[in-house]
Structure 1
Amino acid sequence: MSQDGIDLQTSLGYLLKEASSALRVAMEEVLRPLGMSVTHYSCLELLAQRPGLSNSELARGAFVTRQSMNVLLQALERDGYVTRPAAPPVGKALPTRLTPLGRRSLEQATAAVRAVEVRMLSGLTGAEQAEAFRLLRGMVRSLRDG
């Protein structure tokens, strides 16, 4: 046990963090050869699902700061993965959209990330996978609503 009384071997929070870290490392390994990071991939995936998101919305969705997302978006725009208008159509937000190059890159990255997820779940039955999803969603809900 640690000084504050939490046994890291039996702490669910610590195990979730360890799982999250292992997943991120595995995703980075398959994304690196594609010239992407997890945040790069997350940004493209969010834009594919919800075209026109603002910098702030993308930052929240990818779990990074607005400043970090702005730097990433500038690089993605420079490299031809996304487009943003020179001036905002309404308000201050610059809606971002994927380009055809961004979509093709996302397709490759999605296949690589799915392979990591399949590997992560390979030791579980279908019923165990469904139960894991149910339990994790319940934990997230409890923390957000609590």
Structure 2
Amino acid sequence: MDEGTPADDVTQRLGYRLKRAAAALRGAMDRALRAYDLTVPQYACLELLDQRPGLSNAELARGAFVTRQSMNVVLRGLQDGGLITRPATTDRGRALPAHLTEEGHRRLAAARSAVYAIDRRMTDAVPESRLPELLADLDRMASVLDG
């Protein structure tokens, strides 16, 4: 099937299949994270801050695949919930570095096991011998579309 020809069955297109898998992952994560009073972007933000404390709004937005405006809302919710701290002002530039609180670390640790279990179910669906190739293929697809 060439680029200019409509698919006989759009559900057989690679993009459709990737979107279906991404939607299934998002739905599973939404359901699991409800028990921890977190959204997927909030969870992603907590994971990123656990790995790299002090990230800015822009850095967190890129890492969580949301807009900076959406990340502002995420950060406000996390701050209001006592899961992160951010200074009111900064000495350099406009970035307000965020850090997990003790409660943020506790909530992340609790939610992490549920999210990792979802990742394990998804990973287990791929034969172990094919997993490295699949991951490399996904990375190549992202690279050709990123630029």
TM-score norm. by structure 2 comes to: 0.90
How many pairs were matched up? Answer: 142
After superposition, residues 50-69 of structure 1 pair within 5 angstroms as 50-69=52-71
List per-residue Cα deviations over 1:40-85 (Å, max 9, x = no partner): 1011011111111111211121122222211221121121100111
**Corresponding residue of 2:95:** 93
CA distance in 1 between counterparts of 2:123 and 2:65 reads: 23
After superposition, residues 15-54 of structure 1 pair within 5 angstroms as 15-54=17-56
- For 2:95, the aligned partner's letter is A
CA distance in 1 between counterparts of 2:126 and 2:57 reads: 37
Aligned CA RMSD, in angstroms, stands at 1.4
Specify the SS of the correspondent of 1:88: coil
CA distance in 1 between counterparts of 2:108 and 2:116 reads: 12
Specify the SS of the correspondent of 1:39: helix
Q: Which of 7, 10, 13 is the aligned partner of 2:12?
A: 10
CA distance in 2 between counterparts of 1:115 and 1:99 reads: 24
**Is residue 124 of structure 2 the alignment partner of residue 122 of structure 1?**
yes
CA distance in 2 between counterparts of 1:58 and 1:123 reads: 30
Specify the SS of the correspondent of 1:34: coil
CA distance in 2 between counterparts of 1:26 and 1:82 reads: 25
- For 1:5, the aligned partner's letter is P
CA distance in 2 between counterparts of 1:124 and 1:70 reads: 36
**Corresponding residue of 1:84:** 86
**Identity, % of aligned positions:** 49
Specify the SS of the correspondent of 1:126: coil
Q: What stretches of structure 2 of length at least 5 have no aligned partner?
A: none
Q: Which of 100, 104, 107 is the aligned partner of 1:102?
A: 104
TM-score norm. by structure 1 comes to: 0.90
Runs of 4 or more consecutive aligned structure 1 residues displaced over 3 Å after TM superposition: none
**1:9 CA drift (Å):** 2.5
**Is residue 136 of structure 2 the alignment partner of residue 137 of structure 1?**
no
